[in-house]
Amino acid sequence: MIALIFATRKEARPFLALSRADRCAETPFEHYRSPLMPRLQIVISRIGKVAAAAACQEMIATHKAKRIVNAGTCGLLVDDSGWAVGQLVRITTAREGDHDVLGKRPPPAACDTHPGQALPTARLVTCDRPVFDLQRRNACSRLGEVVDMEGAAIARVAALNQVPCTLIKGVSDAAGPMERKTLLANLEQVSVVLGKWLWENLLKMAP
């Protein structure tokens, strides 16, 4: 079984519509099943690393997921990528941008990049708080090209359980000052692009 994890219902909505998925559980997370994709279970984790990690562990331990897919929006940390709003990227490594252990950052978690070979690759930085100021953006840009609030937590839980994990992200903003409004303005557009790609490619990720 493939577990597809979104942080928010807004990000998930286009894919839920394409797959005709119906809600099948309310707690501890929203779960959806699609009659068109019986090998798939969709879960809405809510925002943040703790919620994302808990949802991922539930999918592996309780629902016996054999592959984890995390999809959602991301902010752009670099100015020379040539990527515009709506660009999809597949994540090669994911790491925390605001966490260390005894003064040392944990090494990045490797992600499975075999699915989505046609997409450009990026390193993901995951932070507890949104990155909407230049100082934090510059610090995070030394660690990766894109930033979110869930991906590294999901990748680490999957790695601990030795379950393949694929992260697909859509660029929604430039993670700088005043970009919060940009993210909100672009959220629906990017989610539509992401949902269409997932609909066309998700079953190719079957373990």
pLDDT (tens digit per residue) in 54-94: 999 999 999 999 999 999 999 999 998 899 999 999 999 99
Nearest to 87 by CA among 170, 145, 11: 170
> Tokens 């609030």 sit at which residue?
149
pLDDT at 102: 60
Angular region, 201: left φ>0, alpha ψ -120 to 50, beta rest: alpha
Of 35-39, 110-114, 167-171, 180-184, minimum mean pLDDT range? 110-114
Supply the pTM of this predicted model: 0.93
- For the chain, where are the E strands, in sequence order? 2-6, 22-25, 30-34, 37-44, 67-76, 88-96, 109-110, 121-126, 146-148, 165-173
Strands 2-6 and 22-25: unpaired
Average pLDDT of span 124-134? 91
User: In the numeric block, which tokens belong to residue 172?
Assistant: 């929604």
Is the pLDDT confidence value at 207 over 60?
no
Q: What class does CATH assign to 2-205?
A: alpha beta
